[in-house]
């Protein structure tokens, strides 16, 4: 420990000095999700306000909140901000013209750094405090941190004592010998949020899904009210020996684990472990993840690799979407030019689940949404608005679920797909969707009458 202590003292600097390392023209990257350096970001914002930075690029993924540094440059005169997956704060910055999206499959982002498609001069990364063995643990996010570390010129860790210490199977920590500088933050609590309440429609959708989950299934759950409603139902259902292999660890997993539903015994890959690449949720979830040997974080290139996913039997992938068109294309990231999130790992798990023996991939959404003016709109649309990002192509979509039922699209022609999707659309919009299908030449008048 004496060697580690000596290195620690030599490498310890203030947040202000860490921010001062940025030179004009540098390409700066923040750790993604909870690993964003919130404390140092405040000092960088002061440099932006004082016009000390110029021609800088900042990049990250899903910043928790709003970056003070980016907000301090309201005309983008000093820095450009790029982001691979939008948080609610990033959406606000995007609407202000201050945030650009990096289209990407989550599992492929590590290659952006390996192939030098993205370069890093300075990497700022939030971690746990140093442990007794000289390691800084990445806590809630493993993702592609290793690839960023291997391809940066300067690495600065910002420690925070409220970060859970999370065990992993690979690349969940970094030794002090690889770190250039250390900043001890003010230890402000990391962001935590209770899961959104499930709506009545979410509960109906969850009830459809629970009938599709067998003993020994391996689950991937996305974020939102519906997955949490499903978790609550599963916890009371008597389903046994479930496994978890998911990109994002969410609160519903805790409820299922505590109810005894999750054992991970039947998994073929990482047997006995709840496997994930990042976690986000309530303090209850973080406490569950902290030093829990039942959980293991792995890099996204492993967790989201369809070939790895499909090695488990009976994989059930459950994700949300914004819209589906009549051909079965799925958008889960934008509506027209209004960007909302990103592709993330949805495509990865759709492909991986379908390749699994007995696997199923579900794209879930309520049949309608209500706009700010109180007008109701269908989420099943004839075609997407210009600029809408396609997250899952029609060739990949298996099941689409609304509160009106489940549409299975594999093996179906265009008119059979349209019929199946219209059958689970809200009744108020079905006639208009039929007219559009006829106009697109994907409707057959010999079809049986719609329910």
Query: Do 228 and 280 meet the contact criterion of CB atoms below 8 Å apart?
Result: no
* Angle, alpha carbons 354-379-406 (nearest 5°): 40
Supply 336's token pair.
Answer: 């027209």
In angstroms, how far is CA 124 from the centroid of its own chain?
20
Residue 247 annotated to the active site: yes
Cα dihedral 230, 233, 235, 241 sign:
negative
Other beta carbons within 10 angstroms of residue 263's beta carbon come to: 15
8 A C-beta contact, residue 247 and residue 106: yes
Residue of 247, 323, 403, 419 marked active site: 247
CA pair distance 246, 251, nearest whole angstrom: 13
* Residue from 274, 300, 297, 304 nearest 143 by CA: 300
Determine the Cα–Cα distance for residues 316 and 139; give it in Å rounded to an integer. 26
Whole-number Å distance between alpha carbons of 350 and 327: 17
Q: Catalytic residue positions? A: 247
């Amino acid at each position: 420990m004496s060697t580690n202590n000596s290195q620690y003292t030599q490498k310890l600097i203030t947040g202000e000095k860490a921010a001062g390392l940025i030179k004009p023209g540098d390409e700066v990257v923040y750790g993604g999700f909870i690993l964003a350096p919130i404390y140092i970001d405040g000092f960088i914002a002061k440099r932006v306000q004082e016009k000390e930075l110029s021609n800088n690029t900042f990049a990250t993924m899903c910043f928790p909140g709003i970056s003070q540094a980016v907000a301090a440059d309201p005309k983008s005169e000093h820095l450009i901000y790029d982001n691979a997956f939008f948080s609610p704060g990033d959406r606000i910055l995007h609407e202000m013209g201050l945030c650009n999206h990096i289209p990407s499959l989550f599992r492929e982002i590590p290659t952006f750094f390996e192939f030098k498609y993205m370069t890093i001069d300075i990497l700022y990364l939030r971690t746990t405090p140093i442990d007794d063995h000289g390691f800084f643990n990445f806590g809630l996010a493993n993702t592609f941190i290793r690839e960023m570390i291997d391809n940066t010129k300067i690495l600065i860790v910002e420690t925070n004592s409220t970060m859970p210490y999370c065990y992993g199977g690979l690349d969940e920590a970094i030794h002090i010998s690889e770190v250039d500088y250390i900043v001890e933050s003010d230890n402000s609590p990391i962001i935590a949020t209770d899961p959104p309440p499930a709506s009545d429609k979410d509960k109906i959708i969850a009830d459809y899904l629970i009938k599709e989950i067998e003993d020994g299934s391996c689950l991937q759950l996305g974020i939102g009210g519906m997955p949490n409603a499903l978790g609550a139902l599963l916890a009371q259902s008597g389903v046994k020996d479930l496994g978890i292999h998911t990109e994002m660890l969410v609160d519903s997993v805790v409820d299922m684990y505590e109810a005894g539903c999750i054992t991970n015994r039947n998994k073929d890959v990482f047997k006995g472990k709840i496997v994930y690449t990042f976690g986000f949720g309530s303090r209850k979830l973080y406490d569950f993840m902290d030093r829990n040997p039942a959980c293991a974080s792995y890099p996204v290139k492993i967790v989201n690799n369809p070939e790895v996913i499909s090695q488990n039997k009976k994989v059930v992938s459950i994700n949300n979407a914004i819209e589906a068109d009549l051909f079965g294309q799925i958008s889960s990231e934008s509506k027209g030019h209004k960007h909302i999130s990103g592709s993330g790992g949805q495509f990865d798990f759709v492909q991986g689940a379908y390749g699994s023996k007995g696997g199923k991939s579900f794209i879930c959404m309520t049949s309608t949404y209500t706009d700010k003016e109180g007008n109701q709109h269908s989420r099943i649309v004839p075609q997407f608005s210009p600029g809408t990002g396609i997250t899952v192509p029609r060739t990949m979509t298996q099941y689409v679920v609304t509160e009106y039922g489940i549409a299975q699209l594999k093996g179906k022609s265009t008119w059979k797909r349209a019929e199946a999707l219209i059958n689970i659309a809200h009744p108020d919009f079905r006639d208009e969707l039929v007219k559009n299908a006829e106009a697109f030449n994907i409707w057959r008048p010999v079809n049986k009458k719609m329910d």
